[in-house]
Structure 1
Amino acid sequence: MTSSAPRAPSRFSPGRVLAMVERHLYVLRSSWPRLLELIYWPTVQMLTWGFLQSYIGEASGRMAMAAGAFIGSMLLWDILFRGGLGFSISFLEEVWAKNLGNLMMSPLRPSELVASLMTMSVIRLLIGMVPVTLMAIFFFGFNLWALGLALAAFFANLILTSWSIALFTSGIILRHGAGAEGIAWSLTFILMPLCAVYYPVAVLPDWLQHLAWSLPPTYVFEGMRALVIDGIFRADLMIWALGLNAIVFAVAVTSFLILMNRARIAGTLLQSSE
């Protein structure tokens, strides 16, 4: 006697991922405030740090070159912050719409849900960052795209870190409900002083430098300063960052799956309100 219970899909389906991406794109393009928000804050930060760079750039020699790293640091920080935020907001929109239970009862696999959120993260990030990088060229003569292949290495490492953070926070929200959503906005900012975004790691206390070097973004920001100030691409820093990101991402995926399983047991998938 065969069971009539529906079976879980056995293979990863790009079609289901595309369907989820299309759903979020429909929501995004139908709301101009959502689109405006993607560009507004990166623009404000770029102008603020850009004018500060112009002020510091009035100095001479190495100090003037160091000033050029400010706006580069801000743009790379926005990749880290907004890459994770784009993931988290897409996930939270399912929470706010009370749609998580429906998704979990559908053929959609957790890996497909995560893949769709990663895709939306990149789409949201590009919508916000491309215009801002072009404005940086117009206002301050700083061309992030001129970094070439180095930019691809910076982007890959930062987006991996942002996805790891977003996966972990999404798992917490699954387990503890929408009341934990504040973590999605704040957790990345804990990294800012430790990752030496706007200053070298060497200015940190000795005991804090060890913690800074355990974080993948630190290698990216140090690598960006080496490229902008000294004209040297530090491939060794990017390899270290990639290795650490592989560990962090594996831990994040494991944490997400564990928290999702606990949410199923506790019944919070169907009770994702405050």
Structure 2
Amino acid sequence: MSFLMHQGRATYAFFERNWNLTKRYWAWEVVWLVYNIVNALSVTYIGAAAQLLPGAHGAKIDTQPLILYLLIGTSVWSYLSVTFEGVTDMITIERWEGTIEHTFMAPISRFTHLVGSCWYAIAHGLLFTFVQLLVVSAFFHLDLSHANYLSAIFMLLIGSISFIGFGIGASVLPLLFTERGSQMSYIVRAILLLISGVYYPISVLPGWMQPLASISPATYVLQGLRASLLDGATILSGVIWQNTWPLIITGVVSVPLGVVIFRWAERYAKYTGRLKRNG
């Protein structure tokens, strides 16, 4: 019991440390929040302008479902981005500050270290996404009377575990590559953006690319959220379960695998002297 309490306090210590870093650089938080909101508005207004775009020929199109479709996509993408950055940026900041060696020498298991940082990334991402949704929704008159919010929250929380597994794996890049690692992690996110159907159905992708969507947790989160908010699907409905079990499997596999990869990268970085500050 004492061991579990010690690990719990250690996990919270990393959570609180990351919160203090966020407060220290609060101006950057404002910058990225405004950027995410403006980006979400820009994409969502595409839905509002659907009947005015070339090829519509003035046809009367119900833009409400399209607006909500795009709004869900931008929200999930913002959440995924903030969660990824919450994990990878902690490594990047410690590389820049020259404190990463001290963190790795602390008598704390790497699993505890990563879990603390990951839970903060989830809380940070949820807060960002909630604020973004409030602001963007104020610009549109959306009918959410049929939405099932319980199912939506359920899908987002289940998907968070898988996002964290991918985030831990991506955090290996800034650990091994001081100058380029952070930029390289953007490639992982960009690929997920392309194949997950964030702004369009997966069926429009080339045939050879569509199977790649099945390995992205964002695919299932998006499908589950759209079923919940557009169609009012309940947690016990078939469409929610069809997107839940792949997320469970992905989370069970990706989190331990991400930790194992991170431990391997840590040992390699220590052996080759890559933890030395040079940025």
Bin for the TM-score computed over the shorter chain: 0.7 to 0.9
Distance 1:272 1:198 in 2: 40
Deviation at 1:118, TM superposition (A): 0.8
Deviation at 1:110, TM superposition (A): 0.9
> Any conservation in 2 of the 1:81–1:162 contact (CA below 8 Å)?
no
Residue 41 of structure 2 aligns with which residue? 47
Distance 1:142 1:125 in 2: 23
Residue 139 of structure 2 aligns with which residue? 139
> Any conservation in 1 of the 2:162–2:250 contact (CA below 8 Å)?
no
Deviation at 1:272, TM superposition (A): 4.2
Unaligned runs of 5+ in 2: 53-58
Counterparts of 1:17-56 in structure 2 under 5 Å?
17-56=11-50
> Any conservation in 2 of the 1:91–1:170 contact (CA below 8 Å)?
yes
Q: Secondary structure at the match of 1:13?
A: helix
Q: CA 1:30/1:176 → structure 2, altered by over 3 Å: closer, same or farther?
A: closer
CA displacement, residues 1-38 of structure 1 (integer Å, 9 cap, x when unaligned): xxxxxxxxx76622222222222222221333123134
CA displacement, residues 240-259 of structure 1 (integer Å, 9 cap, x when unaligned): 23222322333222211111
Deviation at 1:115, TM superposition (A): 1.6
- 1:256 and 2:272 are equivalent in the alignment: no
Q: TM-score of the superposition, structure 1-length normalised?
A: 0.84
Structure 2 counterpart of 1:169, one-letter code: A
CA displacement, residues 71-102 of structure 1 (integer Å, 9 cap, x when unaligned): 11111111112111122222222121110111
> Any conservation in 1 of the 2:91–2:175 contact (CA below 8 Å)?
no
Identity among equivalent positions (%) equals 19
Q: CA 1:246/1:214 → structure 2, altered by over 3 Å: closer, same or farther?
A: same
Stretch moving more, 54-63 or 101-110: 54-63
Q: CA 1:28/1:225 → structure 2, altered by over 3 Å: closer, same or farther?
A: closer
> Any conservation in 2 of the 1:83–1:125 contact (CA below 8 Å)?
yes
Q: TM-score of the superposition, structure 2-length normalised?
A: 0.82
CA displacement, residues 186-228 of structure 1 (integer Å, 9 cap, x when unaligned): 3211111111111112222222222222322212223333444
Distance 1:33 1:55 in 2: 33
Deviation at 1:134, TM superposition (A): 1.1
Residue 74 of structure 1 aligns with which residue? 74
Residue 198 of structure 1 aligns with which residue? 199
Q: CA 1:18/1:240 → structure 2, altered by over 3 Å: closer, same or farther?
A: closer
Distance 1:144 1:95 in 2: 45
Distance 2:149 2:51 in 1: 24
Structure 2 counterpart of 1:129, one-letter code: T
Distance 1:163 1:143 in 2: 32
Structure 1 counterpart of 2:140, one-letter code: F
Unaligned runs of 5+ in 1: 1-9
Q: Secondary structure at the match of 1:206?
A: coil
Residue 268 of structure 1 aligns with which residue? 274
